[in-house]
Structure 1
Amino acid sequence: MTRNTIPPYHAPRTASGDCMLKVWGRVNSVNVKKVLWLLEELDLPYDRVDAGMEFGLVNEPAYRAMNPNGRVPTIEDDGFVLWESNSILRYLAAKHGSPLYPASPAARASADRWMDWQLSTLGPAERNLFWGMVRTPADQRDMAAVMAAAKAAGECWAMLDAHIAAHGWPFIDGEHMTVADIVLGCYARRWFGPEVHVPGMPHFPALAAWYAAIGARPGFRRWVAVPMT
């Protein structure tokens, strides 16, 4: 299958022919998926431009002027340019007054905590599992690195499984979903996906129940549940 399995979404135009929100990024990027899922939750119109990997664009001067990292996603919202996926989620949810980014300082800090944990701990732990099993040809895989990553990722998911089980909540921080569920849900798709399954991966009952709950969301089904490439 091709990498771009979902056709670009073109937002309804304003009277002037412009769209306020533009997203650069390929749909098979986990970080782009976060943003697209949130936009589905917020029901916001946007335009998306394929960028990164086989689509190029990210090393062109105009793109680097927006995002010096040369990565995706990048958004432009009515003239405001922002990169870093978790920051984009915070910004969009806060701008539109969504309860996905709670107003309470404690609840907001907790959501921030899990989003930062994805960046600092979970993402690096599972990187070689995803890249080894999905983006590396079978005859070129370093299975020692893959198995080490599966172990490290499992230790991370065990922490979240214990957190959810201890509280009995349907979502990470309570009765209602937050941006933290979106961020970690995109990574959980990798853990639970058949594309990355290797022998010995543990089963986490509380985590699986949470994953089933977020998996029912239309944004998850459209952008995250699709085959990984």
Structure 2
Amino acid sequence: MLEIWGRTNSINVQKVMWTVGEIGLAHVRHDAGGAYGVVDTEDYAALNPNRLVPTIRDGDVVLWESHVIVRYLAAKYDDGGLWPTDPAVRANADRWMDWTASTLNAPMRTVFWGLIRTPVEQRDDAAIKAGVIALGRAFILLDAALEGRDHVAGERLTMGDIPVGCATYRYFGLDIKRPDLPNVETWYAGLAERPAFREHVMLPLT
């Protein structure tokens, strides 16, 4: 059976769990990281030398890095679904996964950690303000790309929606000023109706 290591409030673990939920894969998840520890053990380091979450074991296959795991699960278990068969559509989904990593993650980490996981007296307000501006610019770009589309890679949900969707949940949950994003809001409303998204992503921000 598929094994997953990671805590539920980790955005990277949420990507994997949402994927598993969409596909309907039987699995067992082990709490790891943060207050749960585990990642500091030698047994865990043998699976993931980075000592981070998530990590999966699927038979003889052990993988870490959340986007790699999402791609693997989609390709193996949902070919034609989350894993598009059309190379052009698949490349578009890949592009948005990579865009999340290259463009969205850094300012999201700054703002999320600054507002949610840092005491008020220790916050770097200038860095948070700059992060909010960078996030606004990124989401304006996403909004334009979603014009006339139901999902980031076209008509249906693909692996490309997974990382962006997880980040968008956090973005809309933060007490910050956001630009007008009608297309993102429509797309996000559709995600929020999906049972797997509600179960694995729409959790309290901690």
TM range (shorter): over 0.9
Equivalent of residue 81 in structure 1, options 62, 84, 92: 62
Equivalent of residue 182 in structure 1, options 145, 162, 166: 162
Equivalent of residue 112 in structure 1, options 79, 94, 117: 94
Which digits, 9 at most, give the CA deviation of each residue in 1:133-176, with x for residues without a partner? 111122322211111101011111111101112xx111112110
- How far does residue 97 in structure 1 lie from its aligned partner after superposition? 3.3
SS in 2 for 1:179: coil
- How far does residue 207 in structure 1 lie from its aligned partner after superposition? 0.7
Q: Whole-Å Cα distance in 2 between the matches of residues 206 and 28 of structure 1?
A: 27
Single out whichever of 94-103 and 112-121 deviates more from structure 2.
94-103
TM-score by length of 2: 0.96
The residue aligned with 2:85 is 103
The residue aligned with 1:129 is 111
Which digits, 9 at most, give the CA deviation of each residue in 1:65-86, with x for residues without a partner? 1111111000000121000111
- How far does residue 190 in structure 1 lie from its aligned partner after superposition? 1.1
The residue aligned with 1:138 is 120
Unaligned segments of structure 2, at least 5 residues: none
How many residue pairs get matched? 205
Code of the residue aligned with 1:189 in structure 2: it is: Y
Seq. identity, %: 48
Structure (1 or 2) with the larger CA radius of gyration: 1
The residue aligned with 2:75 is 94
- Runs of 4+ in structure 1 over 2 Å off: none
Q: Whole-Å Cα distance in 2 between the matches of residues 97 and 192 of structure 1?
A: 29
Q: Whole-Å Cα distance in 1 between the matches of residues 197 and 120 of structure 2?
A: 28
Q: Which structure carries more relative contact order (alpha carbon 8 Å, separation 6+)? A: 2
Equivalent of residue 38 in structure 1, options 7, 19, 24: 19
The residue aligned with 2:184 is 207
Which digits, 9 at most, give the CA deviation of each residue in 1:79-130, with x for residues without a partner? 2100011110110111113311101111111111110111111101221110
TM-score by length of 1: 0.87
Code of the residue aligned with 2:78 in structure 1: it is: G
